[in-house]
Chain A
Amino acid sequence: MQITDQLIDDCCSGDRKAQEKLYKICFSPLINICHRFSNSKDDAAILLNESFYKIITQLASHDRNVSFLAWAKRITLNHCIDQYRKKNRHQTRVMEDVDLEVTEGVEDEPFEVPEKDSPSHAEFLREVKEEILSLPQPTQEVFQLFVLEGFSHKDIARLLNMKEGTSKWHVSNARKMLRRVFRTTLNKMSTLEL
């Protein structure tokens, strides 16, 4: 099934069948994004439905020169980030304060990722997930689109209406911030193990 201009026009005019068809097409790629911000499929589906409602109501503003799926992914991603931030605002602030203190002076220290299938590896990945979701909104948006969705910098620049250099800057910035946090996390874990 493909998303055609005719299908989008039908959705714009409120054709429920067309909307259902579009929903089914978009379900799989969009719920993957929602899964990153939720713990269960049902929670992810709630996020997806909220995002899809936005997509349907803003369908008229969609620029036909931009891929529909990319546009829909962007709306979904932004909605998920917003919801995540609303839910975790307090916790995020506390974490940021702590991290700033801990990360002082540890940037140059080498670190090793725990081996796969080890308990500490799963714990580490859980921490990584939390930290990626706690990145600043634009940086996270670009980072997720680039690393997790596989968009090119050129596509991201066109989608987010920014320069390619800006997109690269965000990805580089995200890596830098995450690198610090990874080291801190690993240091904490090793301290706990001892």
Chain B
Amino acid sequence: MTEEEFDNIARNAFPEEDSTFESKYWNDMEKMLDGPPPRRGLWIRLTSSAILICGISGAAYWSLKSEPEAYYSSRIQAAPEMVSAPEGDKVISDIQTQESSTNFTDASPQNKSMESIPATSSSQPLPSLETKEEVRNQRAPAVTTSSSIQIDAIPEKPERTESSISPTAPVTVYSNLDSKNQTESQKDGEVNLSVSEPMITNEGRNEVVKIVPRSLLLESSSGSLQASAMSNATPSEGGDPAEPVKSKRKPSFFMEMDYHMSAVNKRGSSSFSKDDIQTQLDRDQLQDWQVGLQAGIDFGNIYLTTGINYRQLKQSSTVRTSELLRGQTLDIAQRDQIVSIDSTILSHQIARVQKSDGFAFKIIATDYQIDTTWQTVSDTVVNTFENEVKNEQSVEYQLNYVQLPLIIGYEKNLFANWLIEGFAENELAFLTSASGSYFDEETQQVRTVDLNGVPSMIWTFRLGAGLGYLFSPNLSLRLRPSFQQIVNGHLKSDRNLNGFNGSLALRLRF
């Protein structure tokens, strides 16, 4: 049977039907078009949820952040008299009025608030800036500090502070402010406050500048100054002198944008054989990448992150089939041969022969009926042949997911600008669309990826470590190699999507 005859059978199986237009069908169609739109897809709902989460996180952050600012601003308005200082004490009320016109150029919120905080005389937080030059300009400086700067601010994350001070030239301060490292020496009329580690350079003036955290309070008592510690988070009116600074950490929020990529080693060749069809499957690497936006909260060294990711799995393969078509041709030679001959006597021809005494009868001929049976004999020669039919096909599938990650991690600072971290990540990825084709190894057929053939959810567990670089205390870039374990497969015929991978994340802390 030829292909055309075969196709005709298929066509005949679907005879022409009545296809005339009737207005009632359009009426039904109109009702459908006027009806409510179908429910929005999962993707939309997940995106909305993520935006809602981000909104709530942001609102929570701003509500927490606004409290200390309100506190300081109310103090500025309520206690302008605090600027006055006892005689003999050198107190500078406002940094902006300094002769050295020191400007704090750090844009961090902590240092912004620092500019407007008043100095106080006694048992008040004293945000003062004193330089040797300023002290000399005063007539009777009871306090002869050797070029000290007191910065009335402790960053919320006290491990690292970056500020730039520029009296005439920029001063950059990289300090590791830790209350335990603070030392103080006090003599009558002289205070030397120092912090053990700050690295301060005043490039323009070659001055040695020391930095004292805001929590150290200068108290004036009989011409002497004392340093007292005060909690940063809950500033109080009085403080116990020489009490070590206890920094109470407040959770901080951050946003993180990350790009994650892994090339799972699925590359390889497989051969299959079914009937007379040999199939060679050459697979490329499975590309698994995701990009997302996350919001997180930071409890000191431990952080918790969640958000929304778009994840894509993609793999291309080449399917080569080689089918061995076996056929036979018959060479048939036909000939006729007599199988049998049946003869029957029909009659005798008798002649009367004259004899001397009369006559006699003599058979002179006989008529026969001869039935000959013929048979056609075929001599058949069978010729067997084999044809190899090759075919090559490229298939590629793509699966798209919306993913909800939950990450818990621990980070620790290394040196000045580096940090290391370890994290565990749990991800739930929900299938949104699937397209393309793949080779089903079970049935050895090329199949179209449909939503029914792919698990609607992938659960991924990931363990990893990271190395981060801090561009500033609030902005860091993190490189995170990790190992992922997928609990269920991405295609029903192709499981195990486990392997090493890596991600790059940019974190912005508020």
Residues on A facing B (Cβ under 8 Å) = 16, 19-20, 23-24, 27-28, 31-32, 35-36, 41, 44-46, 48-50, 52-53, 56, 113, 125-126, 128-129, 132, 136-138, 143, 147-148, 163, 165-166, 168-169, 172-173, 175, 178-179, 182
Contacts and interface: CB of A to CB of B under 8 A. Distances in A.
A147 B7 contact: yes
B17 interface: yes
B17 A44 contact: yes
Interface residues of B, number: 35
A20 B7 contact: no
Q: Which of B17, B437, B445 has the most CB of A within 10 A?
A: B17
Contacts of B12: 125, 128
Contact of A148 (B11, B29, B392): B11
Contacts of B21: 24, 27-28
B394 A163 contact: yes
Contacts of A173: 445
Given A46-B28, A137-B447, A148-B10, 8 more contacts: A28-B21, A35-B14, A49-B32, A126-B13, A147-B11, A166-B393, A169-B393, A182-B9
A50 B29 CA distance: 8
Contacts of A169: 321, 391, 393, 446
B329 to A, nearest CB: 14
Contacts of B391: 165, 168-169, 172
B28 A49 contact: yes
B25 A35 contact: no
B237 interface: no
Contact of B33 (A36, A44, A56): A56
B450 interface: yes
Given A169-B391, A175-B3, A48 B14 contact: no
B19 A35 contact: yes
B275 to A, nearest CB: 8
Contacts of B386: none
Given A32-B16, A132-B13, A137 B450 contact: yes
Interface in B393-410: 393-394
Contact of A165 (B10, B29, B393, B450): B393
Contacts of A125: 9, 12-13
Contact of B26 (A24, A32, A53, A129): A24
B199 to A, nearest CB: 60
A35 B7 CA distance: 18
B357 interface: no
B25 A49 contact: yes
14 contacts: A20-B26, A20-B30, A27-B19, A53-B29, A53-B33, A125-B12, A125-B13, A128-B10, A138-B446, A138-B447, A148-B10, A148-B11, A173-B445, A175-B3
Query: Which 6 A/B pairs are nearest by Cβ-Cβ distance?
Result: A128-B13, A35-B17, A129-B13, A138-B448, A28-B19, A45-B25
Contacts of B371: none
Contacts of A143: 10
B11 A32 contact: no
B442 interface: no
Interface of B: 1, 3, 6-7, 9-14, 16-22, 25-26, 28-30, 32-33, 321, 391-394, 437, 445-448, 450
Contacts of B3: 175
B112 to A, nearest CB: 49
Nearest to B14: A36
A100 to B, nearest CB: 10
A16 B393 contact: no
B11 A166 contact: no
Contacts of B28: 45-46, 49
A16 B33 CA distance: 9
A19 B30 CA distance: 9
A147 B394 contact: no
B382 to A, nearest CB: 14
Contacts of B33: 16, 19, 53, 56
A45 B393 CA distance: 37
A137 B448 contact: yes
B393 A163 contact: yes
A19 B34 CA distance: 12
Contacts of B20: 28
A31 B14 CA distance: 13
Given A45-B28, A136-B445, A147 B19 contact: no
Contacts of B32: 49-50, 53
A27 B445 contact: no
Contacts of B9: 113, 125, 128, 182
Nearest to B276: A107
A92 to B, nearest CB: 13
A32 B392 contact: no
A90 to B, nearest CB: 14
Nearest to B16: A32
Contacts of B445: 136, 173
Contacts of B17: 31-32, 35, 41, 44
A28 B20 CA distance: 7
Contacts of A36: 14
A136 B29 contact: no
Contacts of A48: 25
Contacts of B18: 41
Nearest to B29: A49
B35 to A, nearest CB: 9
A126 B15 CA distance: 11
Nearest to A175: B6
A31 B19 contact: yes
Nearest to B395: A166
A28 B448 CA distance: 29
A136 B317 CA distance: 20
A179 B13 CA distance: 14
Nearest to B37: A57
A18 to B, nearest CB: 12
A56 B38 CA distance: 13
Nearest to B445: A136
A16 B18 CA distance: 26
Given A27-B19, A45-B25, A137-B448, A165 B13 contact: no
A148 B16 CA distance: 11
Q: Which of B13, B321, B394, B445 has the most CB of A within 10 A?
A: B13
